[in-house]
Amino acid sequence: MPSISDESRRSPARGVSLVSATNARRKPRGYEGHRHETVGSDILAVRDALADLSRASTPEQIRATCRNVLGPESTERVERVEPDRWYPIEWLLAMMESIDAKVGHNGLRRMGRLLFQRSHAARFGEVAKVARDVVYGIDGMYNHANRGTNIGGWKVRSFGSSLAELEKTTPHHCAMEEGILSEACATLGVPVMVSQRECFRSGADCCVYVLMPTSLDGTKWGS
């Protein structure tokens, strides 16, 4: 059975178990998550990311990889998911925690890239032309694939000629969100460096992302 390579399996940072346990009790600022549901295509991105990282190709190999990382219960859930139906956000959050613990942040970033392709790329490509559209459009993307009351979101703190700053109060793992931001910009031909100035998983009340273009082509940045 294919296995996730050592290069992709990056050990979680020291103290991740304590941080994960703490975050299970904490919520981002303003997040209540009443009846929070996510679209099935987001959950299927978990399976796709694990198959990609492990180079699994057959249904049996993909199932075995999912069981190894997610456990039997979550694997059975993934196999029942339909892309256009709605499911409890807790399913997806638990799967992300399993990936973080057993694969690492690289796996979550890969998941974010595939999630963007599965759930957002076609719709987003019709309206987005420059990186500015990603920065000001990611909250809309989030609400397109998530529903409920007080489920958090994204807020633009600043957008300049060479830097953008975003605030995130969603419950999703921050490394996965990095993958979404990177892939959305890359789809428009705008490579960016994504970093975090503040992180909920490190004790802040929300995550603050910084996006910087790696190209000097300001026309694609949108400033």
Distance of alpha carbon 125 from alpha carbon 63, whole angstroms: 32
Same domain for 37 and 66, yes or no, is yes
- Give the model confidence (pLDDT) of 37-59 as tens digits: 999 999 999 999 999 989 999 99
Cβ–Cβ < 8 Å for 190, 216: no
Distance of alpha carbon 47 from alpha carbon 79, whole angstroms: 9
Question: Domain boundary residue among 119, 137, 170?
Answer: 119
- Give the model confidence (pLDDT) of 170-216 as tens digits: 999 999 999 999 999 999 999 999 999 999 999 999 999 999 999 76
Distance of alpha carbon 98 from alpha carbon 103, whole angstroms: 8
Is 10 domain-assigned?
Answer: no
Which domain CATH number covers 172? Answer: 3.90.1520.10
Question: Which strand ranges, in their side-by-side order, compose the sheet holding 34-39?
Answer: 86-88, 34-39, 146-149
Same domain for 169 and 106, yes or no, is no
Is 176 domain-assigned?
Answer: yes
Same domain for 109 and 140, yes or no, is no
Same domain for 215 and 183, yes or no, is yes
The type of residue at 171 is: P
Distance of alpha carbon 177 from alpha carbon 174, whole angstroms: 5
Give the pTM: 0.85
- Number of domains composing the chain: 2
Which residue range(s) make up the domain with 62?
28-119
